[in-house]
Structure 1
Amino acid sequence: MDPFALPPLAAVLDAAATLLVGTADVLRPLAGTASGALAVVVATLLVRALLLPAGVAQAKAEQARARIAPRLKAIADRHRRDPQRLQRETARAYAEERVSPLAGILPMLAQAPVIGVLSAVFLHPVVAGRPNGLLEEQLAGVSLGANALSAGAEGAIVFAVLVGLLALIAEITRRAFRPPASLEGPAILRQVGLLVHTTALIAPFLPLAAGIYLLTTMSWTLGQRALLRRRYPLP
């Protein structure tokens, strides 16, 4: 069952879609037929800017986890055959270092509802019983509601550029922010490397509007993490 079919969530989705269509109308004199795509970019940037405090909290939590990681690894090596002692010593380490085991999780949960609603607008061709006007907009002659399979030959170039940019940003992110080898095992490093490229792999199967959103939010995330890593460097 689609949760956005429930009346309260459907109303929220309708309001978000209406706001995006209104933004596209405002931008039309400036962007012409690309106003819908620009509205997606503007809305994504505004949402990510509003969620910046959560990003700062995540950066602080990442710094704290990296600081305590060597101590936790030493505890795990020392007490791996005594699960109860391991649990006690781990809890003591978190308490002494004044780090919460849940550090970073709450900021992620705080972002989820807002990002979820924004993403849902790009994935629902029908909102509140009406066609989603945003997905009827176009970029370079391709409907924002089309994916690579339905866009035809004219959409091949658009999706090729989109996927290429997503893959490029994913690779830069992987190289710049992969966990230090001293803190993470090689298997985890490989998994992280594959995970960041998943977005580029699934983008052709999503509506073009969702792809533009992913490209915008990944670009923002890369820049945000670069700035916050300078402010909160890992030990």
Structure 2
Amino acid sequence: MDTILGPLYTAVSWIIVQFHSFYSLIFDKDSGAAWGLSIVSLVVLIRICLIPLFVKQIKATRNMQALQPKMKAIQERYKSDKQRQSEEMMKLYKETGTNPLSSCLPILAQSPFFISLYQVLNHIAQGKVVGVINTDLLNSARKAHIFGAPLSVKFMDNASKVEALGATLTDVRVVTVIMIVLMSLSQFYTQRQLMTKNVDLTVKTPFMQQQKMLMYVFPIMFAVFGINFPVGVLVYWLTTNVWTLGQQMFVIRRNPTPGSIAFTQRQERLRAKGKLKEDPAEVEAKKAAEVARANRQQPKRQPKAKRQLASTPQADQASGAEEKKSSPSLEKQESGDAKPKQGGGSSRTAKSGQRKGPQRPKHPSKK
């Protein structure tokens, strides 16, 4: 490892020494402020150099957003076949040149610098010269304390080693625990902000599942492995987490993902300031909806007395009488139907009576 990353050890140590020389003009060269600010400045320099990768990450996120309709169609088509769904998703990524893991590019790019800084501080803790850090700088770095904890000690170090550097084990563990908690919280909040504000939640994609996994995995990793990080490395990682959080908040506010909550909020802010020109079609649709709403006739609400009156038996009889009055033709039709029935019955009775009445016997004619 030292052979492969040796040149990187030299580069990292050289950058720290240059910043230390600058801050020694303001603070004591053996102070934690001089060495701690040197590490913070190293983080800022690395993150500035990684801005092109961050821009590439944003573009990749936009490409993923543009693929949302096609991805949704694939999900609907192969809803019951998860394996085929994954195959079609991978095929779509390959055809469009989209990499769903591009969000990890800044983290992967930082890894060599993180490992190199870890090894440089580890050499300082062991009293070994590394890179451009000579014996004088080595002794100065070993004396540097941040909030009572030496830069080169870890949470798991024994009391004798900590006391040899002029500190107590309690101070070291309190400082390391606080920094590990801050690291984990900042990482969790960064991922959660990305998931809740800057992602279109209408479509579930492997990208979203990946981000959701990172939201829980990274804080746990920091909590587990942080106890083995020197205090200087914790300073480095906490600083880069804060930088990432601020950078992401800036991007989400100024250039959010279309279809996300942050995008809707930005549209509302621009509309309130009068800087957003609405689509003419949307304006016409809103006007049409308002006109239709205004022309819609609402049923009139009856007074309580009328509602109670309508529920009584007298009201039912009165309503029946009114219905009959309102339809005189119906009454005439009913009366007309009744009269023919009576007349027809009497005529039939008369005719039957005539047929059934006594008849005179016929006398035989005399021959």
- Above 0.5 in TM-score? yes
Tell me how far 1:215 sits from its aligned partner.
Answer: 0.6
Structure 1's unaligned 5+ residue stretches are: none
Tell me how far 1:12 sits from its aligned partner.
Answer: 2.9
Residue in structure 2 matched with residue 77 of structure 1 by the alignment = 76
The answer to whether residue 160 in structure 2 is matched with residue 163 in structure 1 is: no
The answer to whether residue 202 in structure 2 is matched with residue 182 in structure 1 is: yes
TM-score under structure 1 normalisation?
0.77
Residue in structure 2 matched with residue 61 of structure 1 by the alignment = 60
Change (3 A) 1:117 1:200: closer
8 A Cα contact 1:56 1:228, kept in partner: no
| Equivalent residue for 2:114, pick from 107, 116, 119 | 119
- What percentage of aligned pairs have identical amino acids? 17
Residue in structure 1 matched with residue 147 of structure 2 by the alignment = 140
User: Which structure has the higher relative contact order (CA within 8 Å, separation 6+)?
Assistant: 1
* More moved, 78-87 vs 28-37: 78-87
Tell me how far 1:180 sits from its aligned partner.
Answer: 5.0
Tell me how far 1:161 sits from its aligned partner.
Answer: 2.6
8 A Cα contact 1:40 1:213, kept in partner: yes
Distance 1:123 1:173 in 2: 24
Change (3 A) 1:106 1:66: closer
| Root-mean-square deviation over aligned CA pairs | 3.4
1:143-154 alignment runs, 5 A limit: 143-150=150-157, 152-154=169-171
1:1-235 alignment runs, 5 A limit: 2=1, 4-6=2-4, 9-32=5-28, 33-34=31-32, 35-79=34-78, 81=81, 91=91, 99-102=96-99, 105=102, 108=105, 112-113=108-109, 115-124=110-119, 125-126=122-123, 130-131=129-130, 133=138, 136=142, 137-150=144-157, 152-178=169-195, 179-184=199-204, 191-201=213-223, 202-235=225-258
Describe the superposition over 1:212-231 as per-residue Cα deviations: whole angstroms up to 9, x where unpaired: 11111111111112222334
TM-score under structure 2 normalisation?
0.52
Distance 2:149 2:85 in 1: 60
SS in structure 2 of the partner of residue 30 of structure 1:
coil
SS in structure 1 of the partner of residue 152 of structure 2:
coil
SS in structure 1 of the partner of residue 24 of structure 2:
helix
Structure 2's unaligned 5+ residue stretches are: 163-168, 259-367
Tell me how far 1:10 sits from its aligned partner.
Answer: 0.8
Tell me how far 1:15 sits from its aligned partner.
Answer: 2.9
8 A Cα contact 1:61 1:104, kept in partner: no
Which one has a bigger Cα radius of gyration?
2
8 A Cα contact 1:203 1:211, kept in partner: yes
Distance 2:150 2:202 in 1: 47
Tell me how far 1:13 sits from its aligned partner.
Answer: 1.3
Work out the number of aligned pairs and report it: 225
